Structures are given as structure tokens and as C-alpha cells.
Amino acid sequence: MIDTFEKLNENIEAKTKALDEKLTGADGKRHIVLCGGTGCLSNNSKEIAEKFVEVLEEKGVSDKATVNQVGCFGFCSQGPFVKIYPEDTLYRLVCIDDVEEIVESDIINNTPVERLFYVEPSTGEKVPKQDDINFYKKQRRVALYGCGVINPEDINEALGMGAFQGLRNALKMERQEVINEVLAAGLRGRGGAGFPTGRKWQFAYNEENEEKYVVCNGDEGDPGAFMDRSILEGNPLAVIEGMVIAGYAIGASNGYFYVRAEYPIAVNRLRIAIRQARELGLLGENILGSDFSFDCHIRLGAGAFVCGEETALLNSIQGRRGMPRPRPPFPAVKGLWDKPTIINNVETLACVPFILREGAEKFANVGTERSKGTKVFALGGKVNNVGLVEVPMGTTLRELIYDIGGGIPEGKKFKAIQTGGPSGGCLTEEFLDEPIDFDNLVSKGSMMGSGGAIVMDEDNCMVDVAKFYMEFICDESCGKCSPCRIGTKRMLEILTRITEGRGTMKDLDDLEELSRTVKNNSLCALGQTAANPVDSTLKHFRNEYLEHIQEKKCSAHVCKKLMKYVIDAEKCIGCGLCAKGCPAECIERTDYVAPGHKLASMKINSEKCVKCGACISTCRFKAISKQ
């Protein structure tokens, strides 16, 4: 039991020393760590770890090496990862069949397995260490601190990485001093709106009420977003510590984690972390011998995107239907069970311990004048290095996409990047050198959002992109207010007509009018930002809308009703493999025989074709194309 500041200091010193010995090899052992994030676990990371244990025992060296699973390494497109300390050797794309070779060559004979090193695409050079890979060079981990290093299910390793030092410092300060520190740091909410965190805390602190609450918003629902999940999976104690500090600052005694049920690994590790913190006395009554008591609870969300909106989230926690409430009053005044409540998302709370541990100035020295610190992005789509990245605010989109992301696959042309998920907009090539911060992205027609960043190339149809996000919004609208419920549905109908070649010029005027109506009259941010993808694509890619309407054509060959598959008779040898693999049985042999060929070529019946693409993937001679 850690019940005093002195015991916490002693414990931290001991655990820090133990972790340092492990990472530096001072304990005389090799340490094998594997990525334990959802992505790698779905790719057999757990089974690979078990195989390492088995092979170490078979080779008689289980006393010379340990096996451990840690949080997400971030470089998802290269997982599963295996890292070996103290050399920091990093192996990527590891499979079960590689385990015996790694143990025999590296663990026993101290010879790294070079074929499993990351290869830098630009140079062809093999890179054995994580910090030397371009994907990591420009990153700076604050919210992701400890992820990929510590075992998230072992509080001792978290203590060795500085866990609860921020809480220790906070409990020695007055509550207002803690809020002042967060204000001085310039921390803004990482959930999307970018509201100053310290100001939100100040509102709740100023409310006179015996009961107050802290809520962590872990209801991450943006397509392609996995920032909060990875933090909860990789270092849940950092988020817990941030919540406890927030509770102390405003005078709350209970906190609620609202996490979607689709995150079972994150939820399980969060439960383990809460239990271990309680056992050590870092949660519960009279924390560290102070008069402050605080405990954490978990509530599971059913996956409704609208429950990411703070008032809908509060309704869901209370057992009501997840629908937004009119504001004011704001939650800081009248929130959970009508008590003052602050709601911060996972990433925001994960930054709080750093501020109280290292000081507001150190946090504020990173980033831009109005956007301090770092931001975590889930970088995905048409980019070589898909993964989770944390960069200083002010990093440019070009650095994010090309330096960290490694550019566009197959040398294709960059077209746009969608930031902020369904609430954001598309930014084109002209914005690549714009710094990433809250205000700048909004001024350019997009937004930071929670951190989703989807890259698109020349093969993406921007009308189809707008339609995709509008389909998502329609599915996720709670239906409480008619502008969102009806307006988004009408917008989706128009976009569908356009992508099917039935659009008219009047549809563009109707889209713009509906956009204004939905934006100005919806109850919550879901509806108020629903039209952003439509607005941005209309602004930057109006020519594609006109092409769909006037020429009944989709140059990207994405909209199925506006394209067809054709076979080049000069390239086709008439082997018939495409016909055998066609589920619609729409490919037939013709009478035409190309010069030099013995077989007649094949032809696609466009009326029967379902545009599944099976024929293109089957043809070995690239004789089939989209038109």
C-alpha cells in the first residue's frame, strides 16, 4: 500500500531503477517485447509471444531472456513488431515461423536477423533501430508516453515510467494552482472542439456543489480513428492519473470512463489498471495520506457515434437514450445527474500528467502560439506508412504525409487529405505546407477533430467520398432534431443521384442550401458539422461534380453506375480464366482472334456485369480495364 508521499517516492525510485536495468541490460538479461495493440494482436502477436516462451524453454535459455507484451508501437502497416532490449533491435512483419530463427540467431548467438529489419523505401537501407526510422524521427510522445515500452497490465512498469508523479505534485498544490498550471500549459481539448481544458475545469471548480464528476470520453467513433483506443491499450494508468488530477482540481470524488464496447482489449486493460491502482492506494480513500478521495468507474457505450457528443454521452451513462441536450446549461454547471461535470477525452487526460510532472512551460514550449503541445493522429488511407503518430502542433501536412507517412503508394499523385473525420473537410495539395493546429485547419475549411487523417490519391472519387461520409452521418444521426434527421437524408439522396449519373445542375444548388440549413439549425455538433465533407469537396473538386452531372462520367472509375469493364482484344489471349472467376457469368468468348493468337478473345456483357473487379484481379495479362 502506497499511502504517503514518501512511500510513493521510494516506490517510484525502485521501479524506475528496475525498468532502467531492463532497458539497458544492467540486469544481465535480454528482453523480448512484442506489440500488444489490437492490430498486432489480430495478426497473431499473442501467439508469437507464446511461441517465444516455448522456444526459449526448448533451447534452455529461458533464464537468459524474458518475453513481454507492451502497447502499440504505432507503425501499424509493419506489424507485428518484436523489439529486443538492451540493443533496441527492432524486427517488423514477424510471424510465428520467424521465432526460432530470432532466438537461435539473436538471443543465443548475438547475431541479428537482418531480413526482418525495416527497409527504408527511399534508400533501400536496412534500419535496425526504431529511432532511426523516418516514421519515428519527427514524432514526440506526450499522450503516447510509455506506449510501446511498458506492459500496460503491470503498474510497476508504469511507475518506472513516472506514473503518479504528476498526481504527487498536484496534491501538494492548491486546487486553483493545479488549474492555473493547466491554463499556463495552453492545453486544449483533443476530442475535436479544441476548447481550453483549464477554462473548462475553472467553470466546474467555481460551481458550489458537494458532488462533482469527471468523465473521460472514450467513445471514439470516427471512421479510421484509433488514437484513444491505443492510449487506453498502451498506458491506461496515464489516463487514470489525468482523471484523478482533474478530480482533485475541481473537487470531484468520482470519475467515469465511457468507452465503447467494441474496444474489449482497452476495456480489459483499463479494468486491470483501476484494480491495481486501488490495491496500491492510488485510488480510493485519502489518496497518499491526503484528505482527497477519488475512485474511477467504467461504463460501456453501444457504439453510437452521437454519444461522442458530451451531453448525449452523459445521457447514456445515466441509462437514458443517447441523444444531445440543449445547451446551456453546459455540463460544467449541470452535467451528470445534474451535478457539475467536466468531460475530457482520452488524449486530453493523458497529457495532464506530463504537465503536472514536467511543468506547464515544458508543454507550452512545444507547438504553436495558440495550439500548444502535441497531437496524435491515426494516419491512414493511401499512404505507405499507415499508423499512429504523435507530432508537435505546427507540423505541416507535407511532413505528416511524406516524411512520416512515406508518401503515396506506387508513386501515385496525392489528391486530398480528410482531417477530422465526418466532421472535417478535405484539404488539397495547395495546403500541404500549412501547419497543423486547431485554428489553421478550421480557417482552411477542415478541422483537427479527434485526429483521424485519411489520405486520398488520384484513384479516389471525391463525390463518392462525400457520399461515404454522408451515409455515415445518416446512420449515426440520433434523429432528435429535424434539420439533421431530414436534411442529411436529403443530401445523401442528392449525392447518390449524382454518383449514379442522374444528377442535375439544380442538385448542386440544393446541396449548398441544405448544407447551410443543416449547419445553422442542428442541435449538436454532429449535425452542425455534417456538411463539411460536402462543402469542402464542392469547393475544391467542383469539376468532379460537374463531370458526374454533365458528362455522366467518373474519371476515378469508382462510381459503378458510371463505369464499365472492357477487355482489350489485342492483349487478351482467350485463356478464359476471367470467365471462370466471374460470379455474374457475364464474360463470353468472341469470334475475334488477335494476330498471332490461337484462341478467340473474351468479351464482357456490360448489362450483366456487377463491377466486382474479380476479372481484373484474375487476368495475368492486364487485358481488362475500367472505362
Domain end, chosen from 315, 342, 364, is at: 364
Res 529 pLDDT > 80: yes
Mean pLDDT of 154-178: 96
Q: Which amino acid is at 49?
A: A
Q: What is the pLDDT of residue 421?
A: 82
pLDDT digit string (tens) for 268-285?
A: 999 999 999 999 999 999
- The mean pLDDT value for 407-430 works out to 91
Q: What is the CATH number of the domain that holds 324?
A: 3.40.50.11540
Say if 150 falls within a structural domain: no
C-alpha cell belonging to residue 574: 482467350
Provide the whole-model pTM: 0.94
Based on the fold, state whether residues 505 and 585 are members of the same structural domain.
no
pLDDT tops 70 at residue 594: no
Q: How far is CA 393 from the centre of its chain?
A: 17
> Could you tell me if 414 and 511 lie in one domain?
no
H helices of 59-163, in order, are 99-102, 134-137, 155-160
User: What is the predicted pLDDT for the residue at 452?
Assistant: 86
Residue 521 CA: distances (Å) to CA of 349, 469, 483, 529: 32, 20, 6, 11
Same domain for 255 and 382, yes or no, is: no
- 258 and 401 co-located in one domain: no
As for how many domains the chain has, the answer is 5
SS3 state at 416: strand
Show the cell assigned to 61.
535459455
Residue 17 lies in a domain: no
Q: Which residue segment(s) compose the domain that 505 sits in? A: 462-551
CATH of the domain at 593: 3.30.70.3270
Distance CA 570, CA 559 (A): 27
Q: Are residues 319 and 210 in the same domain?
A: yes
Percent of the chain with pLDDT over 90: 76
For residue 210, with 0-12 CB atoms within 10 Å meaning exposed, 13-18 middle and 19 or more buried, which class applies? Answer: exposed
Do 240 and 354 belong to one domain? yes
Average pLDDT of the chain to the nearest whole number: 93
Q: Verify that 184 and 256 share a domain, yes or no.
A: yes
Q: Which residue reads 475512485 in cell numbers?
A: 295
Residue type, 443: S
Answer yes or no: do 162 and 254 share one domain. yes
The answer, yes or no, to whether residue 224 has pLDDT greater than 70, is yes
Whether 197 and 58 map to the same domain: the answer is: no
Rounded to an integer, the average pLDDT of 519-525 is: 91
Location of C-alpha cell 547475431: 111
| Interval 495-523 mean pLDDT | 94
Q: Tell me the C-alpha distance between 568 and 584, whole Å.
A: 20
Q: In b/e form, how buried is each residue of 103-118, taking b as 16+ CB within 10 angstroms? A: beebbbeeebbeebbb
* Span 111-144, pLDDT tens digits: 999 999 999 887 889 999 999 999 999 999 999 9
Residues 37-60 have pLDDT tens digits of: 999 999 999 999 999 999 999 999
* 266, 335: one domain: yes
- Residues 230, 300: one domain? yes
Does residue 165 fall inside a structural domain? yes
CA distance 332 to 534: 33
Confidence of residue 598 (pLDDT cuts 50, 70, 90): low
Could you please report the per-residue DSSP string of 361-385? HHHHTSB-SSSBSEEEEEEEES-SS
**Does 279 share its domain with 162?**
yes
140, part of any domain: no
**Do residues 437 and 393 make contact, with C-beta atoms less than 8 angstroms apart?**
yes
